[in-house]
Every structure is written in C-alpha cells, then in structure tokens.
Amino acid sequence: MRNRQQGFVALYLALLVLFVLSGIGVSAFLLISSQQRIIQNTQASLRAYYGAEAGVEDALLRIGQEMSWSIPYFLQAGAAFVDVSISPMIGGVRTITAQGDVSGRIRKAQAVYGFSSEDVSFHFGAHVGNPSIACPPACGGLEMQHNDAKVIGNVFSNANIFGLSPATITDSVVIAGAGNTLQDISVNGNAETYNCAGATIGGQLVYNSSGSNTCVAGEVGSTPDVTTPIDFPITSAMIGDWKTVAEGGGIV
C-alpha cells in the first residue's frame, strides 16, 4: 500500500514537472516568435523608410538634371516599392513626396526643392502680359492711367506698358518682344524696351536699334537684340484647377 502511494506521488510530481516545463517552453516559444515578428516589422519599416529616402533622392536628381518624369512615378529600391510624386513649381518651389512599401509596411519621406536667391535670375515684383497670345489685341501688358498709379518694385512685361503722368514704377522695367513700347511712365531705375515714348528714366535706358526713342534718361544705349518673352510660372490651367478644387470644397 505504501509503495502504491509513493508511486502515485512520484507520477504526480513527474507530471507536474512536465507540465511546468511545457509551460515554460511554450512561453519561451511565444516570446521568441513575438520578438522575431517585432524585428521583422522593424526591418521592413526601415527598408520602407530607406526606400522612400531613395525615392526623394531620385526625384532631386531628376529635377537637378532636368530629366523627364511622370506624375506620379514608381521605382524599386531594394525590397521597397516606392511611389514618388513631384508637385508643380509654385513660387520657385517643388514639393517631393515619396512613399516606400515593404510587405505592407509604409513609410513616407518629403522634401522641398527650391532655388536660393543667388540662383534666381528672374527677380521681378510684377510679371505681366501673356506671350502665348498674339499682340495685338489681347496679350495684356500694363496700363497705369488712373489715380497716380504706382508699382513698387520691378516689372517684367511681355507686352506694352502705357501710363499717364505721374504714373511711376519705383525700380526697373524690362519689356520683352519685338515692337512693344514703354510710354508715358516715370521709371526710377533702369529700363529695357523695344520702343520708348515720352517716358522718364532715372537710370539707364536700353532700346532696340530698330525701334524708336523719345524718352529722357540718365544714360541711353541701343542694342539689336530683342528680349525673349517669358511664360508665367503659374499657368492659366493650374489656376483653373485650383479654382475647380476650391469650388468643390477643397481637398483634405
């Protein structure tokens, strides 16, 4: 009888030890599996992030080298599938957004590409006249004929600039295109135009040698070259798209 009891106790202890060891083993297995999943997720997330960074670098290279791209465009960076978007140029700045995806782990990177003041040669406060529309009659330009009109800053025009004394432009003026005229304006700085009529230029006036000049200037020169018109940095189509989005309640 006593041997039976001892055998039962030994069996009970053996089963208890086996149960405890099994519990420890299962717990260790679950812990290790969980840690492995965390490590795998972290690695996938890092690969997605590095892929997004690679997408930004690729976009910067394309912009800097003036290469072509679609909107959006896609690339493979290691294990990451990368979606890259480059915004239109607005105010001399583009926004680059890249999204890396590795096994459903998504990371984003964003950069702003812009020009420093040392890189910018077009530095006018007002840009008027549409070079894509024939002159005359509807290409625009600038008329300053009311209430002592004044422009504070520089002006670049793809068409005529007409004024009525004492209309004033406080800095310099450039009028592009053959046959266009600066007329009846007081310009405190320099002026460059094809024709000049009745204007007063505080600095240097340069007009086209095939054009005409009846203006008063501190210094007068002529050139056979015609300044090339420059398109607006923000197109009418872009403005139309913004208006459509705004009228539709905008995009969140």
Domain that holds residue 59: 2-114
SS3 24: helix
Nearest to 183 by CA among 219, 221, 211, 152: 211
Considering its fold, how many domains does the chain have in total? 2
Asked whether residue 9 carries a pLDDT value surpassing 70, the answer given is no
* Shared-domain flag, residues 6 and 106: yes
Give pLDDT, residue 122.
Answer: 47
Top-confidence residue, 218 or 235: 218
Question: Could you tell me if 203 and 218 are in contact, meaning their C-beta atoms sit under 8 angstroms apart?
Answer: yes
Tokens of 152: 């504070």
* Shared-domain flag, residues 11 and 95: yes
Q: Is residue 236 part of a domain?
A: no
pLDDT digits (tens, 9 = 90+) for 135-167: 555 456 788 877 678 888 888 888 888 888 788
Asked whether residue 72 carries a pLDDT value surpassing 70, the answer given is yes
* Shared-domain flag, residues 32 and 133: no
Measured distance CA(53)–CA(46) in Å, rounded: 10
Give pLDDT, residue 78.
Answer: 82
Top-confidence residue, 207 or 228: 207
Measured distance CA(66)–CA(53) in Å, rounded: 20
3-class SS shares of the chain: helix, strand, coil, % to 5: 30, 30, 40
Q: Is residue 230 part of a domain?
A: no
What number is the average pLDDT over the span 14-30? 74
Question: Could you tell me if 140 and 159 are in contact, meaning their C-beta atoms sit under 8 angstroms apart?
Answer: yes
* Shared-domain flag, residues 95 and 164: no
Tokens of 167: 């209309």
What proportion of the chain, given as a percentage, has pLDDT over 70? Answer: 79
Top-confidence residue, 187 or 22: 187
* Shared-domain flag, residues 98 and 134: no
| Maximum Cα–Cα distance across the chain | 135
Compute φ and ψ for 167, nearest 5 degrees: -55, 135
Measured distance CA(81)–CA(55) in Å, rounded: 10
Give pLDDT, residue 92.
Answer: 67
Q: Is residue 190 part of a domain?
A: yes
Mean pLDDT across the chain: 79
Asked whether residue 108 carries a pLDDT value surpassing 70, the answer given is yes
Asked whether residue 252 carries a pLDDT value surpassing 50, the answer given is no
Strand segments, DSSP code E, in 123-160 are: 126-128, 142-144, 150-151, 155-157
Q: Is residue 251 part of a domain?
A: no
* Shared-domain flag, residues 106 and 7: yes
Give pLDDT, residue 93.
Answer: 76
Q: Is residue 237 part of a domain?
A: no
Q: Is residue 211 part of a domain?
A: yes
pLDDT band at 61 (very low <50, low <70, confident <90, very high): confident
* Shared-domain flag, residues 27 and 71: yes
Q: Is residue 136 part of a domain?
A: yes
DSSP state of 251: -
